[in-house]
Amino acid sequence: MSDSPVRIEALEGGAFWRVLLARPKANVIDSAMSAALTEVFERARADRDLKAICLEGEGPHFSFGASVEEHLPGSVAAMLHGFHGLFRAIAASDLFVMAAVRGQCLGGGLELAAFAHRLFASPGAQLGQPEIRLGVFAPVASVLLAERTGRGAAEDLCLSGRSLGAEEARACGLVDELAEDPGAAALAYAQAHLCQHSASSLRHAVHAVRRGFNERFFGELDAIERYYLEDLMSTRDAEEGIRSFLDKRKPDWSNQ
């Protein structure tokens, strides 16, 4: 549909899908975007000829992250449930997933990109988890990033809120490959290393290499989601951080 926040381009005879987050320039992953991406992966799961998907942001940036407005108490539970459901759909598809990152890749955008099997980034990309600046934390990143980067780099990202340049992200393992055109590099990788394989066998291989990780990841994510909603969101500063961002003012932390 023309008003969808996601656009699909089928390449390599349908063996490769370029899936674009199509709400530039920010490509905010709100509930509508999460639902559209979930539908893409549910559809992809049923396509027996599909071998790989590359997630890419339309415009100059990958994504500024999840919708800040949807982090408010009245909508945060539904937002988290839908966003985390997207990761379940990705895992259930058993597809080889890549991410092509340009510009800003922040918050929920980085969580989505980091869940991919291979992450390509342009030299000017900036990748970060700024949630702590808003008085909250990133549930997916809290579980996922240590698997990609090791605990030290993951804790740096999640607890400082700073962004990494592409070179630093490559050095710590967050980014797998730097390329001026990361989307073209992802397609070239698929052409050279994936498209000659059986789609069925490739999916079984993806399932096998991620089985143990997925069991750990989703078990921990469920617990972290509950902790976020029941403990973090009962604090004054969590709501203050979100509201101050929306009000474009400095937060007034009470430290409670």
The verdict on pTM exceeding 0.75 is yes
Rg, C-alpha atoms of the chain: 18
Q: pLDDT band for position 3 (50/70/90)?
A: confident
Q: In the chain, helix, strand, coil percent, each to 5?
A: 55, 15, 30
Give the residue from 218, 192, 199 showing the smallest Cα distance to 45.
Answer: 199
pLDDT surpassing 50 at residue 84: yes
pLDDT surpassing 50 at residue 1: no
pLDDT surpassing 70 at residue 96: yes
Nearest-angstrom CA–CA distance, 239 and 243? 6
Tracing tokens 């759909």 back to the chain, one arrives at 89
Nearest-angstrom CA–CA distance, 41 and 53? 9
Mean pLDDT of the chain: 97
Residues contacting residue 158 through CB under 8 Å, at least 6 positions apart:
129, 131, 132, 137, 138, 141, 142, 145
Residues 45-61: pLDDT tens digits?
Answer: 999 999 999 999 999 99
Residues 7-47: pLDDT tens digits?
Answer: 999 999 999 999 999 999 999 999 999 999 999 999 999 99
Nearest-angstrom CA–CA distance, 113 and 192? 21
